[in-house]
Amino acid sequence: MKYGRLGVFALICAIVMMVCASAMAAPVVKEGSKGEAVVKVQTLLKERGFYFGEVTGECDSVTVEAIKKFQTSEGILVDGICGPQTYRRLDPPKPPAGLENARSVVVNASAYSPFETGTHTATGTLLRRGVIATDPSFIPMGTRVYIPDYGEAVAEDRGSSIIGNKIDIAFDTYEEACAFGRQHIEIYILD
């Protein structure tokens, strides 16, 4: 057995953490849901001109149709369920104070740690939290960025699979990298 019981246990823990992290990221609203999450989704849909009913806190067929219309307008899976992807489109994260005028880009982000790749970056610095790997033609080496829910980072690394709008975000531990997984996120270019 290549990884042993401890390795399998660590893998299962990482998968559970990723599922839990994505589940906590946004409410899931579907037909029959009730409560504050439904109020929030109905209010956001109403503000964007997709929902014309009363904000009741109950997800009925009118709310489901509004969610479907919104999903169609965004070009995402049309299932009538306001899950994490739909919610992020409906209520995108706001830039932190002071970054309102920073250039933002949407990237396909993955995570890595010294455990998988070694301890040094392509530029010779230590691999640590606060480092990202980029395609230098997209985000040049030395560029500072702000990543929501992570903080500031500097482009100090690159990789053969990091092409175009892909980035790899460094974490200190393998478990943190696994918990982050792969996501489409908006980052802010500071330099």
CATH number for the region 26-90 comes to: 1.10.101.10
**Across the chain, what does the average pLDDT equal?**
85
Could you please report the per-residue DSSP string of 159-191?
-TT--TTEEEEE-SSHHHHHHH-EEEEEEEE--
What is the residue extent of each domain of the chain?
A: 26-90, 103-189
The model's confidence at residue 16, banded by pLDDT at 50, 70 and 90, is: very low
Greater pLDDT, 27 or 36 = 36
| Domain 103-189 homologous superfamily, CATH | RlpA-like domain (2.40.40.10)
